[in-house]
Amino acid sequence: KQECEVLFFPDNRVACKSHFIGEGCGKLGCHFSHEPNSLSKLFEYLTKARKSLDVCVFVFTCSSLADILVEAHKKGVVVRVITDDEQVDVSNSQIWKLRKEGIIVRTDRSSFFMHHKFVVVDQAFLMNGSFNWTNQAITGNQENLMITYSTDLVQQYSQEFDKLWKQFNPQ
Amino acid sequence: KQECEVLFFPDNRVACKSHFIGEGCGKLGCHFSHEPNSLSKLFEYLTKARKSLDVCVFVFTCSSLADILVEAHKKGVVVRVITDDEQVDVSNSQIWKLRKEGIIVRTDRSSFFMHHKFVVVDQAFLMNGSFNWTNQAITGNQENLMITYSTDLVQQYSQEFDKLWKQFNPQ
Ligand SMILES: [Zn+2]
Ligand SMILES: [Zn+2]
């Protein structure tokens, strides 16, 4: 069990999801990356989830990452998503796809930003940094995503997630 | 020496800089907060710097935080700042004040974002999260800022800073 890892972006190319976490990629001349990079590691961390994925992210437009949440949800992982209300309807937003598949997404209903970008997986590890779930963050921007198994940190972000989850309950 | 701490925002009120790190606040009915909050802790962490402040931040419009960098610079702390080129000229940008005072600021010169928000202090601890250095982040947004003394993490972010510092050298 490693204590921490840091993923820096941008990657040169988008990682091939099938190659890293799917049934393998049979595409001749596949133009996605089959070499490990930051995104492929993110894919792998997210697919470690067995019980819960608590995702708190400001902008969510990357369809591969949405697909991973949907696949986890279908396998019985409890997926909860918090995002910014103004980001729900931007071009390529994945929020409606998540909702259509039955994943509950809550928003801040405020003109300020729900600006966090963190995930708590199985209450076991935390991923946190500057990284929004967008294609621009993967291959364009300078970004960081820190993974830690520190129980103290995992608990503090879990508590913050639960606090916001209640606060943003629409009922 | 504590291992880590997390600051969550928003604060209810802006912390009184004079009260927490200045000569004390003599203002009767000062409308800034004299109770410790996330910003007051950020003030205190930044003023721990004795040797170096490596600041990598996407948006920098908060004048109190700029003042802390300028004061550190005047005391002989080596202050280096990396920011996004498109953010240099936004309203309230503090970048020109920093440059006027002799602090070197480098930018990404790219249409993508230099989206990091981290600081390495004295190569001893790291502050990293979603928090841009803006007033909106302090009293409006949902934000986090994680402080860690982990040598491994400090080194990885330091190396990333040095890499970008070279990459963004305008010469
Ligand atoms: Zn492939
Ligand atoms: Zn005061």
Q: What is the pLDDT along chain B (171 residues), one digit of tens a residue?
A: 457 899 999 999 999 999 999 889 999 999 999 999 999 999 999 999 999 999 999 999 999 999 999 999 999 999 999 999 999 999 999 999 999 999 999 999 899 999 999 999 999 999 999 999 999 999 999 999 999 999 999 999 999 999 999 999 998
Chain A: residue whose CA lies nearest to B168:
A142
| Chain B touched by A140 (CB under 8 Å) | yes
CA distance B146 to B127: 5
Nearest CB among A112, A130, A157 relative to B141 is that of A112
Residues composing chain A: 171
Q: What is the DSSP letter of A82?
A: E
pLDDT digits (tens, 9 = 90+) for A20-57: 998 899 999 999 999 999 999 999 999 999 999 999 99
Say which residues have a Cβ less than 8 Å from residue B96's Cβ, sequence separation at least 6.
B88
Whether the CB of A165 is below 8 Å from some CB of chain B: the reply is no
Strand pairing partners for B114? A142
Amino acid at residue number A131: F
Rounded Cα gap, residues B45 and A70, in angstroms: 40
Angle (deg, nearest 10), helices A38-46 and A63-74: 20
Chains A and B: how many Cβ contacts under 8 Å? 94
Domains and CATH numbers, chain B: 4-9+50-167 (3.30.870.10)
**Strand pairing report for A52-57 and A78-83:** parallel
Q: Which residues of A4-17 are buried (b: 16+ CB within 10 A; e: fewer)?
A: bbbbbbbbeebbbb
The residue among B98, B53, B51 whose CA lies nearest residue B80 is B53
If DSSP codes are grouped into helix, strand and coil, which group holds residue B108? coil
Question: B9 pairs with which residues across the strands?
Answer: B143
Does residue A53 contact residue A121 with C-beta atoms inside 8 Å? yes
CA–CA separation, B144 and B10 (whole Å): 9
Is residue B73 annotated as part of the catalytic site, yes or no? no
Spatial contact of A25 and A40, defined as CB atoms under 8 Å apart? no
Strand partners, A104: A80
Tell me the C-alpha distance between B111 and B108, whole Å: 8
**Helices (DSSP H) in chain A: which residue ranges?**
17-21, 38-46, 63-74, 95-100, 135-139, 151-167
Q: Is B153 an 8 Å CB contact of chain A?
A: yes
* Rounded distance from Cα A77 to ligand 1 centre (Å): 26
- For residue A115, indicate whether it is catalytic: yes
A117 is catalytic: yes
- Return d(Cα A171, Cα A115) in angstroms, integer: 22
Say whether residue A137 is in contact with chain B using an 8 A CB cutoff.
Answer: yes
The pLDDT tens digits of the residues spanning A99-114 come to 999 999 999 989 999 9
Q: Given this model, what pLDDT does residue A22 score? A: 86
Q: What is the pLDDT of residue A2?
A: 54
Go through chain B and tell me how many residues it has: 171
Which ligand gives the minimal distance to the CA of A25?
A: 1
pLDDT at position A170 over 70:
yes
Decide if B150 and A4 are in contact by the 8 Å CB cutoff: yes
Structure tokens at B138: 């302090």
- Alpha-helix residue ranges (DSSP H) falling in B17-88: 17-21, 38-46, 63-74
Least CB-CB distance to A130: which of B10, B116, B136? B116
Q: For the residues of B140-164, what is the DSSP string, one character each?
A: TSBEEEEEE--HHHHHHHHHHHHHH
